Chains A and B, each alone.
Chain A
Amino acid sequence: MLMTNLESVPGRTIVRHLGLVQGSTVRAKNIGRDIMAGLKNLVGGELKGYTELLQEARQEALERLTQQAAEVGANAVLNVRFTTSSVAQGAAELLAYGTAVELD
């Protein structure tokens, strides 16, 4: 599955538009990481635990996006975008969406 946040793929033409596809996941932080983050909040700096948590979550959102795109028979997703929203205290939703297309 080819993914890009551009509106076209160089050297390929779009044969069919298959509509919007999306993948999302809601994640809560865990206590172990929270304690470390609490300490880090005192001295500042990168919160590696959270960076990893969000990266894993975003990867999962992308996998779901890929899966949905494959279901509609696409071989590429164009104009991919990410958004994040906090659903509740300590939980975040990560959404990836894009346009599924069939390229020649």
Chain B
Amino acid sequence: MTEKSMVKADFVTSVILIAMGIAILVLSIQMPTMADRNQSVYSAPGVVPGFIGLMITILSFAMLLRSLKKKALAEFREGIIPKGSLGQESTKRILTTIVLCLLYAFFLGKLWFGIPTFAFIFVFIIIFEYDRKKPLSTQVKKLLIAALIAVITTAAVMLVFQKLFLVNLP
């Protein structure tokens, strides 16, 4: 991350964190004190989260002041997201990875473990390896290897985890 976008990111996160800190503080104050149960006020469940909320607010406020000193607001004139970062190859790869993993997690528990697992590994390898510019016929080997890895991994995971380590699978 460049220094300019870091200043912007610090500004945004500090605002979010201050809101979070204050919310934690308010929720902690609203918790019962347990005094009606003849318990010491100091044993109230809200004492420690309240302290943590306060600390998060103070520290984030320090970060907010620092980012304002570095002229964070002026940086926003050039747009919130740095130009060109969305089209970058690395951003695409990061987003693809996250989306594939989310999809896999979504299907877990809904289908028998083997199906999403096989599909996930196969699709993951193909998406990152398949070259759309080349004809399909030259890339059959890639497809076969991906399918083979997916089958072997799925079988091995199920065997090792269920039979050897006696662990439940999703």
The answer to whether A and B interact is: no
Measured CB to CB, the residues of A under 8 A from B are none
Measured CB to CB, the residues of B under 8 A from A are none
